[in-house]
Chain A
């Protein structure tokens, strides 16, 4: 090596090293100065900004959801309550790899495809940033433990204790009480965002929807110190939420159960009303659905099943089902004829089993018509009711005319939205010449009036409407609005008496006479062929109280001229709908109802016994030992 044998200039090397060391030292001094300046910039110059940011980091204002008001029946039985559950939630913003996390959870908890599917759907809906999205409601103790053990590797996953709505009686009261749903994109458009800032659910249907503003309560707030994972480490101050109002409904759960049982597995609806108050004592629509399914979001398969089922379990027949009232409409036509002076209780007609408009050959048949015979002979108003003569009411309807008939029956609520607090209730359809011109662009034919006389043609009513109209007869014209609400903690507007002005008949005695005629439908018996009330043989033989009723059948398909209904080969779904309206006791009505059995056939034979069973349940249980029961 060349260097090996040359003498080194050690002083020069030392000087050189000293110089270089000083250069490095200078670099150190400069670099440390840079750091000092940087820290000075952050800690002194920009201190204010960072201090604010630091506080913003740790202090959050969190809304606290109020507890939703409870719903009771009239006896104080809980119909809708709030159950504490542990919910598995995910904050999307805190999950680094959602697929991996879901895969982990699937292994841990056995999540189903449906659950993940619903979760993904909820995730896509608009929500507040950092809002926990529920993945599984109602965790078991063991599942909570499994989550807790694995929490360290599941960032963003949390178990949240929350109150969820629960309907202890499930589908028994589903259509009556309504249900709630998760707040959706559309809901956020019209809800008060401040009040709902912590709320996850909103009334979806029925009472839950109508009384949403009372049931919801007032939001509370707390200022909290949170860590970076959003967990609360300290509550700084707190404004507690105000729980929603508890509601007591007119609904009577035992009666609701009786009505439910009476209808059995048949499709149909029952609405029972207290004629004195308009209070809805029972509201059944079958088949029903369990509103608990909608708490937290129903999974897609179940929802599709419910939606596509031919029996349409989610459809509220009692409030929204449109049916021709059939012969149950006759008492209203009769009262119209009496009040408009077109008939009297004494006037009679000859009923050959059919009706012809003057100058027309078309036959409008009675139900008793058969080729070459039938009919009820000499018929007055009373007999026309208890024998349900079509011919009498064809004739009367034409005499009164649509322009007087429609306004008169409208007073009973036909063609109107009838209820105080049932937002879904439909107004049905009361046809008028104006309506026909506007919708069908056709004139009103006399034949339309003929059909209207027996509740056929274009007329459509809901079971609620028919029950309410029947209650008006029972109350002799008084018209309290049908309502679900009986009582509440607070002073609700709906609690104030709201009653339409009573219907005035030309002769108020006609109320009682019509009630008696309807009582004959049930009670007139043992008189021989063609002389008994239509429902007597089915429900009137052993009835321990006085009940007024009227049967009806609503055709589902038209019957060609010259043929009888029985001649047609009809599928089950083409069978006539069976109606029965009733109230009791006749002297002092406490309950009025309408029963509809879809495709049930005869009103008296099918719907009548159902009505009797419901009224029995109401009167016999309540009035044990009373005069009515002893009769």
Chain B
């Protein structure tokens, strides 16, 4: 194989620390990341308990989903990064096939065709898989090239990114398309792309904004307009954002107390258990409560980037960096949207919103991070 690494490194102090955690090490678990994720999930379940109005059945469902996602994380952590790198391209091709299949045979829900029913498998969204597979294939592709990448390499990488992103956007699933694109952009940046390309792409993007406006569907345009003037349609498109801002703002510094939020419990707040759950938290736990969550997110992201920096091969670095940054985009887009900084797109609050799919993908990503960090580094047969 081309582009192999020839450097052997001795185990560093990090490794020594991990060895002391022998059983965790053998399980390929990164303790700091594990603890942070557990904290986020725990806090999330508390918020969710209120958001589902104390519905214990739904709370149990979510807990079970998180449990399953944990198992997936542990399972993924057992896979050596080397194997991941080898499976990147095949997985990508399968994913693309499924995305095309969704467009033709997919199952519709809420006006979008995102799901696919394969015999013998539970119904799932191929676009979710792409949140991991696209970073994998980009990392694999770029790690085999000299870095920083040349322009032609960059073009191929962008093509690898654009095809699934456009296919997901067609479903339409703007939220996932943004996350997938964000993960790809992160990889390209991490790969050391020259800043002039970054600036050029940024300017090109700005120039393309008007064109983008015409491509958007009416409801998407409405969402953008609503962002700037929610009062223009207070009972329609503006309703969600007005109510969520009221919920967040009325929470104040300390919040109204768990289960005491009137905006959410009296149904003024829509989607209060899924995309808008941060508003429930802000209303009931106040500014300080949300600050705790933001700090936890920050620490998760920081730990992910640390793992990326610590990784010794290019593939692992790029992948770990991209997955960590995707997690950040998740959190940022959701909170910015609910607090009225960004237009409404369907992005859940990571590990807190009710729903199994995104939790599963996120946990799988954490599994990959743990695998990258705990598998013997740079050693080859």
A32–B246 CB distance below 8 A: no
Question: Does B314 make an interface contact (CB < 8 A)?
Answer: yes
Question: Does B144 make an interface contact (CB < 8 A)?
Answer: yes
Question: Does A10 make an interface contact (CB < 8 A)?
Answer: yes
Question: Does A161 make an interface contact (CB < 8 A)?
Answer: no
Q: A32-B294, A36-B291, A228-B268 given as contacts; is B250 within 8 A of A54 (CB)?
A: yes
* Interface-lining segment among B29-37, B74-82, B83-91, B282-290: B282-290
Question: Does A235 make an interface contact (CB < 8 A)?
Answer: no
Question: Does B253 make an interface contact (CB < 8 A)?
Answer: yes
Question: Does A6 make an interface contact (CB < 8 A)?
Answer: yes
The residue on A at minimum CB distance from B335 is A35
The residue on A at minimum CB distance from B193 is A20
The residue on A at minimum CB distance from B146 is A3
B249–A20 CB distance below 8 A: no
The residue on B at minimum CB distance from A56 is B246
The residue on A at minimum CB distance from B302 is A25
Sample of 16 A–B contacts (CB below 8 Å): A3-B3, A3-B144, A3-B145, A3-B146, A20-B189, A20-B321, A25-B305, A28-B301, A28-B305, A40-B287, A42-B248, A44-B252, A50-B245, A57-B268, A58-B268, A228-B243
Question: Does B166 make an interface contact (CB < 8 A)?
Answer: no
B332–A35 CB distance below 8 A: yes
Residues in A with CB closer than 8 Å to B381 are none
Number of A positions contacting B (CB below 8 A): 46
| Cα(A21)–Cα(B320), bound, Å | 10
Question: Does A557 make an interface contact (CB < 8 A)?
Answer: no
| Cα(A229)–Cα(B251), bound, Å | 22
| Cα(A3)–Cα(B314), bound, Å | 14
Binary per-residue interface labels of chain A (508-545) against chain B in the complex, 1 for a CB within 8 Å, 0 otherwise: 00000000000000000000000000000000000000
Binary per-residue interface labels of chain B (30-66) against chain A in the complex, 1 for a CB within 8 Å, 0 otherwise: 0000000000000000000000000000000000000
Q: Which of B148, B267, B332 contacts A228 (CB 8 A)?
A: B267
A229–B339 CB distance below 8 A: no
Residues in A with CB closer than 8 Å to B115 are none
Within the complex, the shortest CB–CB distance from B241 to chain A, in Å, comes to 12
Question: Does A4 make an interface contact (CB < 8 A)?
Answer: yes
Residues in B with CB closer than 8 Å to A31 are 328, 332
B266–A58 CB distance below 8 A: yes
Q: A1-B2, A28-B301 given as contacts; is B246 within 8 A of A50 (CB)?
A: yes
* Interface-lining segment among A11-19, A188-196, A322-330, A481-489: A11-19
| Cα(A6)–Cα(B248), bound, Å | 56
Q: Is the interface of B mostly helix, strand, loop or mixed?
A: helix
Within the complex, the shortest CB–CB distance from B135 to chain A, in Å, comes to 13
Interface residues on chain B, size class: 35 or more
B268–A227 CB distance below 8 A: yes
Q: Is the interface of A mostly helix, strand, loop or mixed?
A: helix
A4–B282 CB distance below 8 A: no
Those of B164-194 within 8 Å (CB) of chain A: 186, 189-192
| Cα(A225)–Cα(B263), bound, Å | 11
Question: Does A114 make an interface contact (CB < 8 A)?
Answer: no
Residue among A57, A93, A233 having the largest count of chain B Cβ atoms under 10 Å: A57
Residues in B with CB closer than 8 Å to A54 are 246-247, 249-250, 262-263
The residue on B at minimum CB distance from A7 is B6
Within the complex, the shortest CB–CB distance from B214 to chain A, in Å, comes to 27
Residues in A with CB closer than 8 Å to B341 are 34-35, 38
B309–A43 CB distance below 8 A: no
Binary per-residue interface labels of chain A (345-357) against chain B in the complex, 1 for a CB within 8 Å, 0 otherwise: 0000000000000
Those of B232-290 within 8 Å (CB) of chain A: 235, 243, 245-253, 262-263, 266-268, 282, 286-287, 290
Question: Does A360 make an interface contact (CB < 8 A)?
Answer: no
